[in-house]
Structure 1
Amino acid sequence: MLSMQVGGLFGFILLALDIWAIIKVIQSNAGAGVKTLWVLLIIFLPLLGLILWALLGPKG
């Protein structure tokens, strides 16, 4: 039962971070094509997309 609660908490935190990352991508100065690719990457690969965006994504 505890593992299910931990998994649910992890999923919720990941969802919140993904939403935050998508908002930051949209607010960035990157071109529309780059923004679209980052948003799709974050949506379809939530954990990997978030990590890659944090390391390589558009800044500012």
Structure 2
Amino acid sequence: MGLEFGGLLGLIILALDIYAIVKIIGSGASTGAKVIWILVILFLPLIGLILWLLFGPSKPAIHT
């Protein structure tokens, strides 16, 4: 049962990381900030996701 739970937890974290990356790309942050946030999430999936939720760019990009 532990292995199944770990696999499910991993899939949930992966889905949340993908969601965060999509939100980062669509944010109004600078390109450099986007790259840094994406790298943090890729190299530290759980910690990077938590940091992004707390400190990441939250304003959507304005397309005019």
- TM-score over 0.5 for the pair: yes
Deviations 1:5-59 (A, max 9, x none): 0000000000000000000000000000000000000000000000000000001
- Give the TM-score normalised by structure 2: 0.91
Match of 2:8 in 1: 9
Partners of 2:52 and 2:58 in 1: how far apart? 10
Match of 2:28 in 1: 29
Give the letter for the 2:4 counterpart. Q
- Percent pairwise identity: 56
Alignment gaps of 5+ in structure 2: 60-64
Aligned residues: 59
Give the letter for the 1:13 counterpart. I
Larger helix percent: 1
Partners of 1:18 and 1:59 in 2: how far apart? 15
Structure 1 stretches (4+) deviating beyond 3 angstroms?
Answer: none
Partners of 1:15 and 1:59 in 2: how far apart? 20
